[in-house]
Amino acid sequence: MIKLTNASKKYQQGAREVHALKEVSLDIRKGEFLSVMGPSGSGKSTLLNLMGGLDQPSSGEIFIDTRPLHGISDDELTLIRRRRVGFIFQFFNLLPILTAVENVSLPLLLEGTPLSQIKSKAIDLLGQVGLGERIEHRPEQLSGGEMQRVAIARALITSPAVLLADEPTGNLDSHTSEEIFMLLRNLNEEGQTIVMVTHDSRAAAYGTRIITLKDGSLSEDIRLGEH
């Protein structure tokens, strides 16, 4: 499904070079729910960004469904992001000027599909994440948990091969977080591949497999049994 071979990422911070990811090799199978753990600055977000094609590795290879993500043009990478990957961010990243349903529709709007054809699907998805009553609300009229649900619905609308979540509950209280994790687990049980970055080992336990990063390298890889 997703395969990394010796993927490295270096950043230039002024004169200093930061080695955010060092030769990471990893194989994620279809239907897995992978939790990524590690201390702050260990490269978790970097890893996720590389898998989602938000960024390209400095060296090494990354494949999603056997398609390479390295060494391809920005436009090709963009299309992969649009069609094969669904992102859920810590800070939700909804467009404040759009309503919930418009935010959910956005990835398909980018494809050129008219809103009329997308709308029913978007409303369905909002229903699935428990926001059937909130479709015409703007982000500012929603709570944090609700915003994150909108973001999840948005990530799902293209039926992506993989759902990538970077600390999806980092901004939410523990009760709301619990609900989000349950939602993700249900999705996983329906067959959705998910990669989730988290600090919290309790949260990581929702996954089927946990990896731990340390200083940009893979330090642990544990498979949990099926739930």
**From the CB of 99, what's the least distance to ligand ATP, in Å?**
30
Site track for Mg ion across 44-83, x = CB under 5 A = -x--------------------------------------
**From the CB of 222, what's the least distance to other proteins, in Å?**
28
Q: Exposed, middle or buried, 200 (CB in 10 Å: 0-12/13-18/19+)? A: middle
Which of 27-35, 79-87, 195-203, 213-221 is the region at the interface with other proteins (rule: CB under 8 A)?
79-87
- Is residue 81 part of the contact set for other proteins (CB under 8 A)? yes
Dihedral sign, CA of 125, 131, 136, 141?
A: negative
Which of 38, 107, 207, 216 lies at the binding interface for other proteins (CB under 8 A)?
107
- Number of residues counted as binding ligand ATP (CB under 6 A): 12
Site of tokens 């479709």: 135
The pair of structure tokens assigned to 76 is: 């090709």
Left, alpha or beta for 201 (phi > 0: left; psi -120 to 50: alpha)? alpha
- Is residue 40 part of the contact set for ligand ATP (CB under 6 A)? yes
Beta bridge partners of 87: 164
